[in-house]
Amino acid sequence: MKIYHHISELSNLSNSIVTIGTFDGVHLGHQKIIQRLGEIKHRLGGEIVLFTFDPHPRKVLFPDQKDLKLITTTDEKCHLLKNLGVDHVLVYPFTKEFAQMNASNYISDIIVSALKTKHLVIGYDHRFGANREGSIHTLKTFAEIYKYDLEEIPAEEINQLNISSTRIRKAVDDGDIKTANEFLGYHFFISGRVIKGKQLGRTIGYPTANILIEDADKLLPKLGVYAVNVIIGHQTHRGMLNIGMNPTTDVEKSIKVEVHIFEFNQDIYGEQLKVEFVKRIRSEQKFSNLDELKRALANDQIACENI
């Protein structure tokens, strides 16, 4: 799969099967759209092109709303799309100027001239252009002029899944990993680099890898302890992860992400980890002393290993 950040890089396209959207999380509803693109490619040939945005449009259009966190970073989203068979991803810089582009220019300049669209598949109620003036009816009108095929995934096909990025964000925020994973069709995950912490865990028998999440917009689950899978390179390990402020041992109020990997003792400082969330075990607690903390961690490990 090829990834582009400038429209000028797309000059070699000729028979594009296109879809457009933010695709945050690449959840089962999104996957249904991409599956349809794959069916068209199998039947008629061509290349699958996904047109998406960075930053998320809401961050540009509503800058005062600081609470939007994303299920997937742009890199994570592209990785998921690659595994779904997408050939090309254009990550377009979303700006206020772009948001004010009128619908007809958007179709002629972007959909037709830049993306070389022959087949366009969109989710229901897709809106675009200044003041969201563009709709399925606009696309149908111009389809006759520019000779591209148009297909809208019916509302009932998506609604029967009862899935949206908003619902998934709320589930993750509530610590309801089971629901989030069901809607995503895979384990919700975070990615980050291992950095040095206070190394207290190793003194009580539970060494942890401190994970730095470098994208401030990345959604994190509710504070607490989770059963997780930890992917290092091509190997998957089981573990337990804490998101919180370590109230038993720390006076700092910053949120930390620490994972204890079962039966693992390698030096992984500086390496990138992917952590998949399987189930929330409990809320973060403050214990009276380290012995209480150690007993709680032992119980947590048993709970995680039994999942």
Q: What is the pLDDT of residues 131-144, one digit of tens each?
A: 889 999 999 999 99
Pair (160, 121) in one structural domain: yes
* Amino acid letter, residue 305: E
Alpha-carbon 15 to chain mean position: 28
Contact 24, 54 (CB under 8 A): no
11 — phi, psi (to 5°)? Answer: -65, -20
CA-CA-CA-CA dihedral for 20, 25, 27, 32, to nearest 10? 20
- For residue 175, being part of any structural domain is answered with no
Pair (22, 162) in one structural domain: yes
| Better-predicted residue by pLDDT, 277 or 12 | 277
Question: Residue for token digits 């994190």?
Answer: 220
Question: Residue for token digits 């470098």?
Answer: 214
Structure confidence at residue 123 (pLDDT): 84
Question: Residue for token digits 């504070």?
Answer: 223
Radius of gyration of the chain (CA): 22
Structure confidence at residue 156 (pLDDT): 67
Pair (126, 158) in one structural domain: yes
Q: Classify the phi-psi angles of 46: left when phi > 0, otherwise alpha if psi is within -120 to 50, otherwise beta.
A: left
Pair (125, 220) in one structural domain: no
pLDDT reading at 200 higher than 80: no
CATH number, position 214: 2.40.30.30
pLDDT bin (cut points 50, 70, 90) of residue 65 is: confident
Q: In what order do the strands lie in the sheet with 2-4?
A: 2-4, 88-93, 47-54, 16-20, 117-122, 149-152
Domain count, the chain: 2
Among 277, 255, 276, which residue's Cα sits nearest to residue 210? Answer: 255
83-97, 185-199, 241-255: least confidently modelled range: 241-255
On average, the pLDDT of the chain sits at 91
- For residue 182, being part of any structural domain is answered with no
pLDDT in tens, 102-127: 999 999 999 999 999 999 999 878 88
Pair (61, 93) in one structural domain: yes
Contact 209, 273 (CB under 8 A): yes
pLDDT bin (cut points 50, 70, 90) of residue 158 is: low
Structure confidence at residue 64 (pLDDT): 86
Structure confidence at residue 27 (pLDDT): 95
Question: Exposed, middle or buried: residue 132 (CB in 10 Å: 0-12, 13-18, 19+)?
Answer: exposed
Question: What is the distance between the alpha carbons of residues 276 and 226, in angstroms, rounded to a whole number?
Answer: 10
Structure confidence at residue 250 (pLDDT): 63
Bridge partners, residue 151, by sequence: 121
Structure confidence at residue 248 (pLDDT): 65
pTM of the model: 0.91
pLDDT bin (cut points 50, 70, 90) of residue 285 is: confident
pLDDT bin (cut points 50, 70, 90) of residue 201 is: low
CATH number, position 78: 3.40.50.620
pLDDT bin (cut points 50, 70, 90) of residue 287 is: confident
Range of the domain at 298: 188-305
pLDDT bin (cut points 50, 70, 90) of residue 199 is: low
- For residue 28, being part of any structural domain is answered with yes
Structure confidence at residue 171 (pLDDT): 97
Pair (217, 157) in one structural domain: no
Question: What is the distance between the alpha carbons of residues 34 and 19, in angstroms, rounded to a whole number?
Answer: 8
Pairing of strands 224-232, 209-212: unpaired
- For residue 180, being part of any structural domain is answered with no
CA-CA-CA-CA dihedral for 291, 293, 295, 300, to nearest 10? -170
Query: Using a CB cutoff of 8 Å and minimum separation of 24, what contacts does 167-173 make?
Result: 168/25, 168/27, 168/71, 169/69, 169/71, 169/219, 172/71, 172/219, 172/220, 172/221, 172/222, 173/69, 173/219, 173/221, 173/222
69 by DSSP, 3-state: which? Answer: coil
Half-sphere exposure of 79 (CA within 13 A, CB side): 9
pLDDT reading at 162 higher than 80: no
